[in-house]
Amino acid sequence: MIIQPKVRGFICTNAHPQGCAANVREQIAYIQSQPAIEKGPKRVLVVGASTGYGLASRITAAFACGAKTLGVFFEKPPTDKRTASAGYYNAAAFEAEAHRAGLYARSINGDAFSDSVKAQAIETIKEDLGQVDLVVYSLASPRRTDPKTGTLYSSVLKPIGKSYTAKNLNTDKLEISDITVEPASEEEITSTVKVMGGEDWELWMQALGDAGVLAENCKTVAYTYIGDKLTWPIYGHATIGKAKEDLDRAARAISTSGRAAANVAVLKALVTQSSSAIPVMPLYISLIYKVMKEEGTHEGCIEQLYRLFTEGLYTDTPRLDGHNRLRMDDRELRRETQAKIEKLWPAVTAENLFDLTDFKGYQEDFLKLFGFGVEGIDYNADTEPQVEAEFRA
């Protein structure tokens, strides 16, 4: 079939297998251009391993540390009529590249919130790895079924306490207008914490610990975003921020349990399938791209992850804040950088969008997430949507 992007609102409903594979190879090449991480982990479980920060974590662990990796994700396989989701193609490409490099890599494609996927992961670790010395928790999901009660919880992206009106960019129609988001109800706040808070991370660590598959000096890390004034009302101080605060509680509980040394890592804002769904974020990211590219401080997922391993997880001098979080958002949150964005923010209009912001870079990165706009790929060529992949399910 001819595979060209089908964008609907803030999602793209198809993906290009060769484009996705090229993206994975590009990230591997970046890691191979960096010094190897000698003190890095050797057996790694990544939950949420197929796209965004989780994929970059897996690539860093494998190609900078030489680690054997087990990846867990929830992605759509291809059919004869439909392409797979991007994460499916990414994971297939990652496994192929890892195997070519002589590295163990296996994956489970299923609901990480379920008891059965946790049990499968434990079984695979026991069979193949014995134990793991790093667990990366990088899930981003709009809903979660509680495995104990069967209740389905949905998360919302809403402010807390009062409504919030802000400038918003409609990335499809290229219109800029004010949007007002009504405050979340108590029930919505609780549900968002259930989905994106630390409970499932703790359940993973409990299950792995009880099964004896966590190595003695095992580390675990979960990811958060904090941001600054412009995004606080919809992120940091909103429902998602509340859920992310719960990660701090979970990190303390996991560390106290003695199962693993747990940290939350604060990463920078980037275009991923999850962040493009958050109101205000696309415009903020377009501005931060512009400013940080001009400053020479721009980073993608893979650059952030290499720094997380070398300046956070596997160094004797990690950059921790007062809440024991590893800070990789140091460049984004520099006072001068934020001041430039705050100055540009009120001036942006639909007419000057491409001058004042790097919306072009945002759009390119967005399409690239799905394997489109990648150099060297012929998007008019007849392309086979099926790829070889042997994921457990």
Residues 6+ apart with CB under 8 A from 186: none
Of 72 and 374, which has the nearer Cβ to ligand NAD? 72
The region, left, alpha or beta by phi > 0 then psi within -120 to 50, assigned to residue 48 is: left
Q: Cβ of residue 35: shortest distance to ligand NAD, in angstroms?
A: 25
What six digits make up the tokens of 193?
A: 């914490």
- Residue linked to tokens 């377009």: 286
Cβ of residue 378: shortest distance to ligand NAD, in angstroms?
A: 26
> What is the footprint of ligand NAD within residues 232-271 (CB under 6 A)?
267, 269-270
Please give the residue whose beta carbon sits closest to ligand NAD in the complex: 52
Question: Please, which residue, 215 or 232, has the CB nearer to ligand NAD?
Answer: 232
Binding mask 1-40 for ligand NAD (x = CB under 6 A): ----------------------------------------
- The residue written with tokens 């000698």 in the block is 38
Site for ligand NAD in 75-134 (CB under 6 A): 75, 87, 111-113
Shortest CA distance to 196 belongs to which of 158, 140, 251, 249? 140
- Single out the residue of 17, 40, 41, 52 in contact with ligand NAD (rule: CB under 6 A): 52
Structure-block tokens of residue 221 = 């890390």
CA distance 278 to 339: 22
Quote the least distance from Cβ 332 to ligand NAD, whole Å.
Answer: 9
Confirm whether 235 is a catalytic residue. yes
**Bridge partners (DSSP) listed for residue 320:** 326
Q: Is 48 annotated as a binding residue?
A: yes
What would the DSSP string read from start to end of 173-211?
A: TTEEEEEEEPPPPHHHHHHHHHHHSSHHHHHHHHHHHHT
Q: What tokens appear for 114 in the block? A: 């379920």
Pick 116 or 163: Cβ nearer ligand NAD? 116
Helices 335-344 and 281-295: crossing angle in degrees, nearest 10, is 130
Contact by Cβ (8 Å): 84, 46 = no
Q: Which of 153, 235, 306, 314 is catalytic?
A: 235
Compute the distance between CA of residue 359 and CA of residue 382 in angstroms, rounded to an integer. 30
Catalytic residues: 235
Annotated binding-site residues for NAD(+) read 48-53, 74-75, 111-112, 139-140, 244, 270-272
The annotated binding site is made up of: 48-53, 74-75, 111-112, 139-140, 225, 244, 270-272
Binding site for ligand NAD (CB under 6 A): 48-54, 72-75, 87, 111-113, 138-141, 223-225, 267, 269-270, 272-275
